Structure 1
Amino acid sequence: MTHPRFAAALACALLAAATASAAQRTPPPTAPAGAPKAAGTRALEAGAKILQGNAPLAGFDIYLDGFHPMKDHPDMQVEAHHFCRQVNEDLAQCALFDGNTRTANLTGIEYIISEKLYATLPADERPYWHPHNGEILSGLLVAPGLPAAAEHALMAKKMNSYGKTWHVWNTGANGKPGDALPLGAPMLGWSFNRDGEVFPSVVEERDIRMKVHTGSKRKARADLRPQAHPQGGVDALKGTFQQATQDIPGVVDSAAPAR
């Protein structure tokens, strides 16, 4: 059952989105290969919109913005625009894009599960699922357009959750050009679990463009630390980043020795 305060805050989201600055718009960094749509293609699209509908896409209305390093290539760090549908209290499914405009490219998928469902996974499956507490408590994960109270409530519900993410299209990362088509094998995305792992320039560029402040988000979420449980995968990339890192308060690997 939705908490009344959360429901009321969500009701304000449309107003917030309507008044959001154009600077929050993020066009895709890469134009796909291919010729412009022909008139016949556009006519078919118009007919399909009227006659077919898009029922499976309904409900993908939770918008999250964050960053993923590739688990096998931590120096490849991408911003991911998540458009998610909450299937039930324990499962959400998200389509990932490289922007938030109509021309954004679909670059991957992410499934988000609760701590309860993660506990049911077999041991050989768990290495595919990254922990979320570091993303939340650091302020890196944001919900653009939501009022502060609604965003805080949303992040509280995602504490101790996990994500399984596959990126299938490199459309550009870290100042390097992307591919005009989705090439190569899918790449398993991971989460940032220590300060210093994500390139500062990546976060700064996002914050300026989308008019958010990661540091302020972090301070506002300090009250969520007592809810944080040790999570699997926090130390999966420990020591693989070239830059110096340090622990995020409240973010602990479940396999780490007691402190």
Structure 2
Amino acid sequence: MIPKLHSASRMTLTLITASLLGACSSSANPPLAPLGEEKKTKTEVLEAGAAMLQTDSPLEPMNIYLDGFHASKEDPVHQMEAHHFCRQVNQDFAQCVLFDGNTRQANLIGIEYIISEALFESLPEKEKKYWHPHNYEILSGQLVAPGIPGAAETELMEGKMNSYGKTWHVWNSAPFGATGDRMPLGEPTLEWSFNRDGEDMPGLVDQRDQRMGISTSEKRRQRAELKALAKPQSGVDALKGKFPRPTRDLPGVVDKKAASLK
């Protein structure tokens, strides 16, 4: 999920790297603890030994931290915050593990793959229905990289414009406004992005902003310049009309099919 830093100065790159590799700006503890007994001393000793000896881990490069929101594609009022820890595999492809918090106690709740517009367009048509668009998440200010200065974060988001994500949740641990499950139950759920103002449930974004000291509205203002980069995307209208509240379009966020009919 690291963007193309075409014109980024070395100082900007340093700011991004230092912020992402450092501690999270605000702790978000998981909402519940899984069922099961406390760890035994033997287990903790084995973990400590593994940490010292098994150092070549695929998790180590997953040091890009992003925070955003998902809605179930089947049931759009089922919404939750998701903490993404990502690795940029190459310029067009990234992979993320998703948690319900950003502390050591957080529960693993899913995965997300991120691809560029070019890779998305190379997919078979029947596959594209699984991939949600990202422009609203970026332009609305809802997708954030905690701890990064505003200018550097805007530059980070620039490289994500017009990208797509394929997200599966495997644990309903932190649904907004409801009690989560203490075990990963049932089938995986395909998640979607918000694509209009008013699709998110009242309080969902505000709760995150208050806890992390973030202003989504300010980030929206800072990212207004990115609107010029936005192209019509597939999937913007996939959930149109399926939310209980009235919604409003955000300039720059346009469904590709609808745009082709104009």
Structure 1: gaps spanning 5 or more residues = none
**Cα deviations by residue, 1:189-215 (Å, 9 ceiling, x for unpaired):** 100000000013011010010011000
Would the aligned equivalents of 1:9 and 1:147 in 2 still touch at CA under 8 Å? no
**Cα deviations by residue, 1:118-152 (Å, 9 ceiling, x for unpaired):** 00000000000000001001111000011112211
The verdict on how the C-alpha distance between 1:174 and 1:20 changes in structure 2, with shifts beyond 3 A counting, is closer
Partner in structure 2 of residue 197 of structure 1: 199
Structure 2: gaps spanning 5 or more residues = none
Residue type matched to 1:9 in 2?
T
User: In structure 1, what is the Cα distance between the partners aligned to 2:87 and 2:9?
Assistant: 17
User: In structure 2, what is the Cα distance between the partners aligned to 1:169 and 1:6?
Assistant: 40
Partner in structure 2 of residue 247 of structure 1: 249
Partner in structure 2 of residue 56 of structure 1: 58
Instruction: Look up the SS of the partner of 1:209 in the other structure.
Output: helix
User: In structure 1, what is the Cα distance between the partners aligned to 2:248 and 2:19?
Assistant: 39
| Offset of residue 176 of structure 1 | 1.0
Larger strand percent: 1
Partner in structure 2 of residue 150 of structure 1: 152
CA RMSD of aligned residues (A): 1.7
| Offset of residue 153 of structure 1 | 0.9
Which residue of 86, 89, 92 maps to 1:87?
89
Instruction: Look up the SS of the partner of 2:203 in the other structure.
Output: helix
Q: What TM-score results when the alignment is normalised by the length of structure 1?
A: 0.94
| Offset of residue 175 of structure 1 | 2.1
User: In structure 2, what is the Cα distance between the partners aligned to 1:225 and 1:247?
Assistant: 13
Which residue of 99, 102, 108 maps to 1:100?
102
Q: What TM-score results when the alignment is normalised by the length of structure 2?
A: 0.93
**Cα deviations by residue, 1:18-70 (Å, 9 ceiling, x for unpaired):** 6975xx21000011111111011011111111111242112111111000000
Partner in structure 2 of residue 9 of structure 1: 12
User: In structure 1, what is the Cα distance between the partners aligned to 2:227 and 2:201?
Assistant: 24
Instruction: Look up the SS of the partner of 1:203 in the other structure.
Output: helix
Residue type matched to 2:12 in 1?
A
